Structure 1
């Protein structure tokens, strides 16, 4: 028997939350964007009015203004987005315990076991939509299908506030002529390669020889075939299951370009402190580190490495990241942005230690004490010497949990 999988997508989430907070702006085009003075001047989200005027997510503020002179720009309020996201996800768990997050505003639900009590997939989807709308004032679009990929595509087909069914017996009638890039796993590069092979529709992808796809794309070729054919065993995770994330990262675009080793060192240490604090907060350790940089010409590069031992120390993470940076970039060529990620995560209770490690290092014990002090008195109660007086990292710790009396 086919599974009944829903994909729920909060419509224009950031912009919709802001609109609830600003009823006086009802009916006006709205865009949520960062601070232009800090060079985060791009559109993060927009409402339907702005979308109808051609405003696109990710474009510069000036371009959005040119397309839509009457647009209202609002700053993001991430704490509020997280709060409302949790409220909505709590609603989802009233219908099933299989709720798998795909960001703050999207998730999959497996309601197969709920249909005997709550009705068909469509009936459940419609009840969820009405419940979310009544309790939060927000709308969602829901795709109902038998795989996660097709459910996700279904939720994209009709917005806002809609339910779309893609059943096994007729899903190809609805999506067969759509381009392969409509499927979540197929990006522009893969789509271009498929087009070079004459595969321009989902139907053609489903008909393509599986062996040929594997020879051209590797394992991902088989996954693309499965997605188009509606095959594969899609598991939706339990909402309350403890899952170790694949990575923990933090990045920033600096107020001015980094032009020296000293600039970059301060930023890397500031980011590493954020990453390490999150690891400790969730009792995780990292076995690797990754660094992503963006140059002034907007080109990017990434590299990763293993650490000598599993750690949640900011110093260990920072030194690993700085080693990567030295192999990737030479100053004074300017850098615009950096991101540090802790990878190969595991629970701290099952950490792998180096031959000469005695378990939890002195550095980690010290940093946990620092966490406690910052949690009570704020981040600036204790600062690393490398960060004192550094203008590039000012304000970077404003949303990391190191706020006075936040706990």
Structure 2
């Protein structure tokens, strides 16, 4: 049976939820972000009025305020957004049990079997959009296609409130003219590399020599070439085997710039403790770590690494992060902000392969230390206990990632 895949993307989700609780925000430029007074935070989401003023998801708050002096910034409330995400996923479940989350505001739905009841995928998409708006006051853009990659392109094609069908007959007219960076997994670096070879659109990539692409981009290039040609056969993975929360991370713009690795390690330890604590709270371990950093010039990079052994221990997360920082930071300019993110999450009950090089007893000890610190802070406050190394530079270590609202989900740089 021919597959019919929907990709549903709630429009400016965080901002939309905030507007439900504070309707007057609909009439002013508004964004969800961090703390302006403490010089940290980025734009996580913005409403349409803020978008009209050029506010961009992922940019620092001061830049957004410079573009739009009247911008109203509200702090993020992730527990609230997660609750609304769960409400919306229950609506999806009325129409199919094949639901794969992609962050808390996006999902793929395989509705192939549901066509026996609903017959027309466009009508089904319209019903889902109507249900979400009627029951929760939020709007959704939906892409419909024969694979996940093109379904996501469809949901991005018309925003807000667009429903776009991309079947085989519309690939040439809708998909091929799009810029190549509209294809999932193609970032800025790959876009620049493809441009050097005269590949600017998805159509250019689809028509290119697959051996040429593989030679210059490796196995990833082969995958992207398949995607450009609509050759994506990956299944929709149901939610019961794929958590809504894809990653847990923290970032901070420090009160003073970081000028050496000792400075970075102090901040990284605080961030890693918070990431590890949240992993334990939610019952996860991570199999990967990524870091981000932004220089005083506001140029930034993100790097990631797969871990040999899954963990939720702060020492392990900090060590992996520091390796990435040391491999990628040269201090030609001071560092203004860094972030650490635990990725590829698995339930803590998931069986794992232990390491031959790290004694199990040492892992248990470090886990217990984390748990003791977490329990003391829960009872007596965040600053009631700190590692001695963090006291050397209080201007760098004196922040609480949790209460300062600098925690970001995986899609913190994704436009909303």
TM-score where L is the length of structure 2: 0.81
Moved more, 250-259 or 12-21: 250-259
| Alignment check: 8 A CA contact 1:379 1:397 kept | no
1:142 shift after superposition: 0.4
1:267 shift after superposition: 1.9
Moved more, 373-382 or 204-213: 373-382
Deviations 1:359-386 (A, max 9, x none): 5522323433443444455434543334
CA distance in 2, matches of 1:117, 1:236: 20
Aligned length: 400
CA distance in 2, matches of 1:244, 1:44: 18
Please name the residue that 1:201 is paired with. 201
Does residue 1:10 correspond to 2:10, yes or no?
Answer: yes
CA distance in 2, matches of 1:196, 1:327: 26
| 1:235 aligned counterpart, secondary structure | coil
Written as runs of structure 1 = structure 2, the 5 A alignment for 1:307-318 is: 311-318=311-318
CA distance in 2, matches of 1:173, 1:265: 51
Deviations 1:321-358 (A, max 9, x none): 45665676688974322333457876564341436724
| Alignment check: 8 A CA contact 1:309 1:354 kept | no
CA distance in 2, matches of 1:294, 1:82: 28
The higher relative CO (CA closer than 8 Å, separation ≥ 6) is in: 2
Does residue 1:352 correspond to 2:357, yes or no?
Answer: no
1:290 shift after superposition: 5.5
Please name the residue that 2:374 is paired with. 371
TM-score where L is the length of structure 1: 0.83
Does residue 1:138 correspond to 2:142, yes or no?
Answer: no
Moved more, 44-53 or 142-151: 44-53
1:52 shift after superposition: 2.9
CA distance in 2, matches of 1:255, 1:60: 14
| 1:6 aligned counterpart, secondary structure | strand
| 1:337 aligned counterpart, secondary structure | strand
CA distance in 2, matches of 1:263, 1:380: 19
RMSD: 3.5
- Which stretches in structure 2 are left out of the alignment for 5+ residues? 406-416
CA distance in 2, matches of 1:221, 1:373: 49
Please name the residue that 1:404 is paired with. none
| Alignment check: 8 A CA contact 1:179 1:200 kept | yes
| 1:254 aligned counterpart, secondary structure | strand
- Which stretches in structure 1 are left out of the alignment for 5+ residues? 401-407
CA distance in 1, matches of 2:251, 2:280: 18
Please name the residue that 1:253 is paired with. 253
Please name the residue that 2:221 is paired with. 221
CA distance in 1, matches of 2:169, 2:188: 29
